[in-house]
Chain A
Amino acid sequence: MDNIRNFCIIAHIDHGKSTLADRLLDLTHTLTERESQNQVLDSMELEREKGITIKSHAIQMEYVYEGTNYLLNLIDTPGHVDFSYEVSRAIASCEGALLIVDATQGIQAQTISNLYLALNHDLEIIPVVNKIDMDAAMVEDVKDQIVDLIGCKRDTILSVSAKTGEGVPAILDEIIKRVKPPQGDSEAPLQALIFDSVFNQFRGIIAYFKIFNGTIKKGDKVKFFNTGQEYEADEVGILRLKLVPRGSLNAGNVGYIISGIKESKEVKVGDTITHIERPCDKAIDGFADVKPMVFAGLYPVDADEYEDLRASLDKLRLNDASLTYEPESSLALGFGFRCGFLGLLHMEIVQERLYREFDIDVITTVPNVSYKVHTTKGEIIEVHNPSGLPAPTVIDHIEEPVINAQVITKSEYLGGVMKLCIDKRGILKNQVFLTSDRVELTFRLPLSDIVFDFYDKLKSISRGYASFDYHLDGFQTATLVKLDILLNGEMVDALSSLIHRDYAYDFGRKMCEKLRELIPRQQFDIAIQAAIGAKIIARETVKALRKDVTAKCYGGDITRKRKLLEKQKKGKKRMRQIGTVEVPQEAFLAVLKMD
């Protein structure tokens, strides 16, 4: 156990985590030349493209230091705010963390919030300034920031370029010198923390774990503490680029278990594995049942693809246990699913994966957070859907989820960022100058206010500099209304939204304006109205088409003209019919991206 080091990498998006991980794999000869491809750890195509890690990964490296063989387990963490719980479980499995900071960018919010998580778990932090080869690198300034932030000695900060490889070998040495070996007793009852799971179409669910105490062997009868499910360990082993089976794994090590589990929801990240005989007394701290907080309707663009959509969601859930869905129907959009996501990025990822991996195009309705409606009878109803809101007469009050948000920005944008957060009903909790020109703000904000356009606005106000991270922080009472959109008097259920009363007028007006741009002129006038209950709060009109003619139709080129009309008709067939009005698919999507 003294020769094991478990560590993770904490870094903001684009600060070079994946490139550095690749370097470490190279240096330890973990990959053969043939296996080596850029950014090995980001295995999903989407991850490579977005430059973020969606799923956790783990890989074991061997390294000889001063004549002794060491096993280094790198546990990669998801790189986005929506997955902070998964990050916390990965961190709980490590004894050390590399804190990577981009020399051209400095410390960002996400780095800080993950750093706090790591410090809470008593991880040894090894600060690394990356991208020192870049012209815009401000190595000394960034070192100042790091010293200020964690109070370390300046000469303990490593300077590297993951791109050129400069300084990277020293990282491995420092990990061995500075990170403590894992503690634990291999003879004690088994206690292993699940920090991730993946789906393999031949093997079922593969759970990744770190053993805190005890030993796990092939063939062991095990149970998962929180779900209470029991299994036989068909195979256990360590994680290289491929799975490497082993007869047994001892305390302190990181590995995988295959036990014929078919459904991802049986394997909950944060759960504890123990033996059925001689179980451990208690589970490892920190388990939480992660619930989706953002909900939206997903409808196939082509109504015939409903069953395909269901099958695809089933498959997606195999390696994404946090995705939930149940059938829902809409007058405007037909049959679809109400899906629950961890956050907006999670929603985008699901949408993208449906398109790329399953070739299904979906329409997403306006997302909303999960509300708790207290009825006059004293019941609590969870509402995920505008149509699920009980009649006003039976509502006593409604609660909405709130978050604790951290924003780090250059001080010149402080005013703008403050205004944005306050406009979004935020309450400033703390304000710390990290350096003379960088400030960290802590806000308490309603989650519904960041679901929509918060992130884009934050980026634009701060010219892309501000970074943002959040954690859920309870519920608070909310004044909520249901806002409906009507086209020529017909309500479009797919465009209804639950919204704070203060925003309803502005939002309704903007919805109407946006729809006026997106609904093509037709042979009659179209009235677009926003309403709360029976009260109309905004109105726009799409004027009837009065000139729609091809002036010239000769030279004999009838083909071009015919193809144009046929193409238009095809486009119309893809439109949704609301009463007599034809609404293009884009209208349903674009309302999600309003200024």
Chain B
Amino acid sequence: MAGIYIHVPFCKKKCLYCDFYSIGTSSKISQYPILIEKELSLRKNFIANQRIDTIYFGGGTPSQLEPLQIDYMLKSISKEFYISHDTEITIEVNPDDISEELLQGYRLAGVNRISIGIQSFIDDELLFLGRRHNAQAAEQSVILALNNGFKNISIDLIYGLPNSSIDSWRYSLEKAFSLNIKHLSCYHLTYEEGTVFGRRLKNKKIEEIDESISIQQFDLLRELSIKTGFTQYEISNLAKENYHSRHNTSYWQGISYLGLGPAAHSYNGDKREWNSSSYNDWAQGIESEKPALEYEILDEQTKFNELLLTHLRTIWGLNLLSLKKDFNKTLVNQMLKSAEPYLKTGKLSIVDDCLRIPSKYLFTSDGIIGELIQIDD
């Protein structure tokens, strides 16, 4: 079982907070599916002979691609791998790009899950984030997706904005839950280096939100999700039963994935690869059949640390029995020793041989996981 991720690096306009790799829209778009097809045939052995369980078009802005282009790439994949009607095929779309033709086209191409970059249902916040759409278009896009046959709809929201409040967050959340969506991704705003927001923060043009508001917003998210039947299965992800993102979950559960396109990451259990974050270098690498990528072979300790930092983000936690089976005693014992103070204070729990961070402490998970990972002296 494996996943395929296709990074679509084209954006009409760069959002002020986003640090995913993207370039403007350009003539390069038309050649893109052909390059992806070629990269797939060059790198398919990375996940050789595995059934493809999920395919994910992420961005950038995948909705800058025509349905026929999506269709072309999905057909390319099906030539090399087995895809069933059960394969989760997701595309991220921008509310501003959505139209009936687009949605119908994607659906006909085989897309069965749609993830809409709503971010907020409040105009001021959308303006602040540098999004192309307004609140009305946001709501409209969800309704349009529902009306055009998509049952499995996810939306993204951002909280912790400097101009947000508990009430504004409540408004966006309630609006989201009132629509017939199955999945919700909620990210606290982070200020990444190299983004406009990162610079503005550094130059003190904007100020981070007060920590206590962040925490109340996070608590509100937990509270409302329980009321509406959503499960918070990962720090930033919530879903109705059986509607968790299988693709994203594979990242947290150590399932192999092949990433295609510039800056895409791949993983197959023993090795991680990441493509060049330069469109031209990536494209030339594909044309010349020498993919421009870097890689890292994972040793036991690295695998161990990755397992901790991915699994403990989720509701499923970390199974200690299989951990003990797969890793040497010293690593496991040292980790359990580091865990002791947190087990005492309830910031970690072990139930049925499963190590977890209880949901109310997920907001301090970096510090906890940071204590548990093991490094050489």
Contacts and interface: CB of A to CB of B under 8 A. Distances in A.
Contact of A559 (B218, B274, B345, B367): B274
A549 B306 contact: no
Contacts, number: 104
A523 interface: yes
Report the interface size class on chain A: 20 to 34
Contact of B236 (A551, A557, A568, A572): A551
A566 B272 CA distance: 17
Interface in B205-234: 211-212, 214-215, 218
Consensus secondary structure, chain A interface: loop
A553 B253 CA distance: 12
A562 B235 contact: no
B296 A559 contact: yes
Interface in B2-39: 5, 7, 20
A206 B369 CA distance: 59
Contacts of A558: 251, 265, 267, 272, 306, 309-310
B55 to A, nearest CB: 13
- Among B7, B212, B218, B251, the most chain A Cβ lie within 10 Å of the Cβ of B251
A549 B188 contact: yes
A552 interface: yes
A566 B363 contact: no
Nearest to B338: A569
B309 A565 contact: yes
Interface string A183-211: 00000000000000000000000000000
A547 B363 contact: yes
Contacts of B244: none
Given A562-B309, A565-B370, A570-B375, A556 B5 contact: yes
A555 B6 CA distance: 10
A556 B187 contact: no
A546 B313 contact: no
Contacts of B288: none
Interface residues of B, number: 49
Contact of B190 (A552, A556, A572): A552
Contacts of A549: 188, 235, 362-366
Contacts of A573: 375, 377
Nearest to B236: A551
B235 A551 contact: yes
Nearest to A553: B313
B367 A523 contact: yes
A6 B274 CA distance: 71
A551 B365 CA distance: 10
A573 B369 CA distance: 15
Contacts of B370: 565, 568-569, 572
A372 B362 CA distance: 57
Interface in B351-377: 362-371, 373, 375, 377
B58 interface: yes
Contacts of A566: 305, 373, 375
A548 B367 contact: yes
A523 B309 contact: no
Given A523-B367, A553-B252, A558-B272, A546 B211 contact: yes
Interface of A: 522-523, 545-559, 561-562, 565-566, 568-570, 572-573
Interface of B: 5, 7, 20, 58, 187-190, 211-212, 214-215, 218, 235-236, 248, 251-252, 257, 259, 264-267, 272, 274, 296, 302, 305-306, 309-310, 313, 342, 345, 347, 362-371, 373, 375, 377
